[in-house]
Amino acid sequence: MDDWSEWAGRTETQTDRADPGVLARWCATLDRAAPLDGTAPLGFHWCLCLPDAPTAMLSPDGHPRRDLGPRSFLPPITLPRRMWASSRMEFLQPIRTGDAIERRSRIISVTHKHGASGELIFVDLAHDVLAAGELALREVQSIVYREAAPKNAPPSPPLPGIGSFDPAGWDAIRTIAPAAPLLFRYSALTFNSHRIHYDLAYATAKEGYRGLVVHAPLTATLLLELARRELGEQALKTFSFRGVSPAIAGETLHLAMRSDGEAIELGAFAADGRRVMQARADR
């Protein structure tokens, strides 16, 4: 396995603008009204400062091709399956419509591990997002690269079991079934061409999933929306999430939240109780 640790410390800066049209489409995708005060909802930064690789420069999975050239910020890791594993964020001030946006990114580390599914490489990234020249949020994102699924491996995640989600102990619950149009719109907003989110044949035959995969940041966005419904706009100071198991388009997803003082626990669960995502926040 190649050693990519020397890529730690590499930096990239991207610029954008918090366009009102993009904000309107973000809110329409989530079936919600835009904030009346001109601020952008938490999570909106995920559709800003996006990779603008030409279509001809995309890899077979739809992500921008990685190589040793100057345009490649991430190392050219050859493991074929890529997932957004986790993020933790600190919200310092709101992004407002029309703000000039600058995102300063840095590779913190590249780490090799070995798990039950084989070789894993984690790339940890630090993002500082500035709005109108002021630091608006900090995020540390972890991306994981994995080996191809064995040809005889069962589909992931497992077929639904006989259990059920237990709502006891949760203060607020929202139940949805993320459909393909929601995944398509979120992919468009975030300029994400990863084929596991829209190409059923690729997702099932090539990557071994049971169906189209719900984006990890989309599930996180839905949890942020649950918090907004219960607590109001811009109520959170921090938010972190970790993907536990894939969510599949069209299948029931239970979003849950409970509070203990200023600390908030959130989670996403499949119909049979399988945990899809765990998350925490502070207000």
At 84-126, the pLDDT tens digits run 999 999 999 999 999 999 999 999 999 988 877 778 999 999 9
Residue with tokens 């991430």: 74
CA–CA distance, 23 with 277 (Å, rounded to integer): 25
Query: With the C-alpha atoms ordered 89, 94, 98, 99, is the resulting torsion angle positive or negative?
Result: negative
What pLDDT does 51 receive?
86
Residues 187, 215: contact at Cβ < 8 Å? yes
Spatial neighbors of 133 by CB under 8 A, at least 6 apart, are 100
Q: How many helices (H) and strands (E) does the chain have?
A: 4, 10
Q: Which pTM value belongs to this model?
A: 0.95
HSE-CB at 131 with a 13 A cutoff on CA atoms is 19
* pLDDT tens, position by position, 249-258: 999 999 999 9
* pLDDT tens, position by position, 117-175: 778 999 999 999 999 999 999 999 999 999 888 888 888 998 888 889 999 999 999 99
Mean pLDDT over residues 260-273, rounded? 94
The yes-or-no verdict on residue 1 having pLDDT over 60 is no
What pLDDT does 58 receive?
86
The yes-or-no verdict on residue 68 having pLDDT over 80 is no
Confidence of residue 64 (pLDDT cuts 50, 70, 90): confident
